[in-house]
Structure 1
Amino acid sequence: MAAVNRDPRTAPHGMRNDALLAVALAALATALGLVGDHGLQPDALGWTLLLAAHVALVWRRRSPVLVMLVALACVAPYHALDNNHTAPIPATMVVLYTIAATGTVRRTLLTGTTVLGATLIINAVTNPDGVLEILRISGWIVAVLFLGIDVRYYRQYVASIVERAVRAERTREEEARRRVAEERLRIARDLHDLLAHSITLIGVQTSVAAHVLAADPERLDRETVAKALDDIAGTCRAARGELRTTLEVLREHGSPDARGPLPGLDGVPDLVETARLAGARVEQTVRIRQAPPAVGAAVYRIVQEALTNAVRHAGPEPAVRVDLYEKDGALHLAVTDDGTGPPDAAQPGFGIVGMRERARSVGGSLDAGPRAQGGFEVAAVLPMTTLEGTG
């Protein structure tokens, strides 16, 4: 079946195999010639023409039409000289099969017509009364040609199945690579949001503790220092828990979406309170309580990154406002600050890029940049109906 399924023109060691086939067919033709057909045996010229027709079979895969012409040039005079008519038949059938199995239907029909015409002419000259012989020869020629055509179409069918299987496998590999890339990007966003937020808060709280310790060593405000240290410890515990949840995805052997409960709208007040502990004067207006889990998670991460940027870049005790409301079937989010921080705070970095990616992941959009009246603003519009599997 492997030999039938494979295109003979691409088979390994094709010329060597054809040489062996030519030797075998020549031996068979010799045996048939010696047995005799109605007492006929080839003479010296007949043997020369018969064996010369078999030599051409060595190149039947490379140039089947040329091989057929050479074989006809040898076989036609062989039959015309009334030599043994059975001996060349196996080689002739192999040549006809090769033409049909490797060429187009049009070429096969043209070849069959040519061979049949030459056969009928030769048989009419050498054996005018052999009507049954003509029918028998014609039937074998037609049968061999149809066999070659059938094998050719079967090979094309097998090749199409293999090609579809290869394309399907390539598609699966590309899909797997895409999913891996998306998961890596998601983990990178989560780690950036978590670490940037936590490290910023820890830095601010540490600065508060250091300021209290250095302000008046003689009158140490132990209560303020203790509170700052407790805030640092609480931030570290929260960061450690969220980091553990994020890293569990890397060890998960099942579904890549098994990442535990995602923070949502209910986590926004905690973000606001944490920013207040870091020194920001945050006001919030939340006029929506429920949203799809993916949208809620995107809102949480966007607010987290926006508040982190405000605490980091908007200067000491920045005034920050968080607005959340629903309008026209979409969730509108805005985080603004008074922007007294350094002028390079508006330069886009991984944080802003991550916020935009989170908005796009649920089919929304996000704009971030300085305001005309001063300060910085992050504004997002997220649809309340997300596609399945997003987020």
Structure 2
Amino acid sequence: MNSVQATTTAPGPRVGERVMAAINRDPLTAPHRTRNDALLAVAWAVLATVTALLGDKGMRPDALGWTLLLTAHVPLVWRRSRPLPALLVVVACVAPYHALENNHAAPIFATMVVLYTVAATGTVRRTLLTGAAVLGVTLILNALTNPDGTMELLRISGWVFAFLFCGIDVRYYRQYVAAIVERAERAERTREEEARRRVAEERLRIARDLHDLLAHSITLIGVQTSVAAHVLAADPERLDRETIAKSLDDIAETCRTARGEVRTTLDVLRDQGAAGDARGPLPGLDGVPDLVEAARLAGARVESEVGVREAPPAVGAAVYRIVQEALTNVVRHAGPGPAVRVELYEEQGALRVSVTDDGQCPATGPRNPGHGLVGMRERARSVGGTLDAGPREEGGFEVSAVLPIGSDRGGER
């Protein structure tokens, strides 16, 4: 038993939709326009022939009349690319055709089509001048062949104006549709550019977070490992087991903290696929004491003065990352046992951050500046602040940032 598989096909466009698509399409860029115009010219020529044959036998064209009538339809093939030359050829054939008292209705189709094309593809000024010229020729012919045919003249003039204004209307409608399409495409490009910008900003933010996290954790692990290695190598026979155990515990705690922050970052990335702009909990001012304590465990002599306890989340996160990167650079580059001072205070509606040290070399050497200072400056700019960093005249290195908080606080209240 044969099974019949039903297939569903999408319904094709309706006749009205096809007509509107043809009207909306630019006549100069329409596909197969020459072929379609050639078919149209043949159809109009056939219609003109039938009209001349079925009309008054006394006005049936002779050999010259048939030649002029059929020749008038040839320029319709190039009516879109050369509208004015096509009109001139049509008028040059139609004028003597009418003057010879042939069937006047037969060439109307070709004349009106080419008039419509001139109006639909040109400016209003050109259209009006063309219409005036055609009407002038019509008046002359009517005065010579039918001086009493006032109604005939009005009828012809009405058809001329009707087709000209129809072409003008279609031209303006096409411009309107083209403007709408252009605005839609421009809006789509804007949305795509905005999406790319957000992706780039998010990638930059993730890169900063991973850099701050990994650089800080790896630096602490390196220092603590060096301490344990130094204790082991200093006097192998009298091991300071307590110091070694503390260093290893510090290393384990640093690894756990880093693993937790990496897991949080990865969770945020996964959540963004479904929740959009979810960023998870941001570190803040309450985490600065932990950074200070970690730097002390790494061998730095740190003094801290925190005069600000609250700040907007974004500003607090920026302060945390700036202090974290500054202390990491001190531990890594400032030499053994540097004296460091961390200050956080509010002044004139701004939160000021200062991290100074008396290290033997700048916190970032000229040979390999890395991404730390760049990341800190980007952190400050992300909340509307500024950051300066450089060597001190008395020695060491200084990082100072000014982050606005006045307007944000006011908003929270």
| TM-score, scaled to structure 1 | 0.97
Corresponding residue to 1:345 among 357, 365, 383: 365
Specify the alignment match of 1:42 in structure 2. Answer: 61
- Segments of structure 2 that go 5 or more residues without pairing to the other structure are 1-19
> Displacement, 1:174?
0.4
Paired residue secondary structure (1:159): helix
Equivalences, count: 388
Q: CA shift at 1:386, angstroms?
A: 6.5
Counterpart selection for 1:113 from 132, 137, 144: 132
User: Which residue of structure 2 aligns with residue 284 of structure 1?
Assistant: 304
Q: Which residue of 2 aligns with 1:270?
A: 290
State the shift of 1:257 in Å: 2.9
Counterpart-to-counterpart distance in 1, 2:58 and 2:169: 37
Tell me the residue number matched to 1:87. Answer: 106
Q: Secondary structure at the match of 1:56?
A: helix
Flag the 1:344–1:188 CA change in 2: closer, same or farther, 3 A: closer
Q: Residues 222 and 193 of structure 1: is their aligned pair in 2 closer, same or farther, counting only changes over 3 Å?
A: same
Are residues 1:58 and 2:58 paired? no
1:254 aligns with 2:254: no
Question: What secondary structure sits across from 1:186 in the alignment?
Answer: helix
Counterpart in the other structure of 2:354: 334
SS state of the match for residue 237, structure 2? helix
Aligned to 2:385: 364
For residues 87-123 of structure 1, give each alpha carbon's deviation from its aligned partner in whole angstroms, at most 9, with x where no partner exists: 0000000000000100000000001111111112111
Identity among equivalent positions (%) equals: 78
Q: Deviations over 1:213-254 (max 9, x none)?
A: 122122111111111100000000000011111122332213
* Mean CA deviation greater in 210-219 or 12-21: 210-219
Q: Secondary structure at the match of 2:342?
A: strand
Counterparts of 2:359 and 2:27, CA distance in 1: 76
CA–CA separation in structure 1 for the residues paired with 2:32 and 2:130: 27
Q: TM-score, normalised by structure 2?
A: 0.92
Q: Which AA in structure 2 matches 1:277?
A: L
Q: For 1:286-301, what aligned pairs fall within 5 Å after superposition?
A: 286-301=306-321
State the shift of 1:39 in Å.
Answer: 3.6
Equivalent position to 1:377, from 392, 398, 406: 398
Cα distance in 2 between the residues matched to 1:205 and 1:341: 21
- Match for residue 355 of structure 1? 376
Q: Name the structure 1 match of 2:142.
A: 123
Measured in 2, the distance between the counterparts of 1:94 and 1:342 equals 83
Provide the C-alpha distance between the structure 2 equivalents of 1:335 and 1:324, rounded to a whole number of angstroms: 9
CA contact (8 A) 1:212 1:221 kept: yes
Aligned pair partner of 1:77 in 96, 101, 111? 96
Go from structure 1 to structure 2 and tell me whether the alpha carbon gap of 1:132 and 1:11 turns closer, same or farther (over 3 Å shift): same
CA contact under 8 A between 1:330 and 1:384: conserved in structure 2?
Answer: yes
Residues 212 and 324 in structure 2, CA contact (< 8 A), matched pair in contact too: yes
Q: In 2, Cα distance between the equivalents of 1:386 and 1:16?
A: 68
Alpha-carbon distance between aligned partners in 2 of 1:356 and 1:18, rounded to the nearest angstrom: 65
Contact 1:37 1:85 in 2 (8 A): no
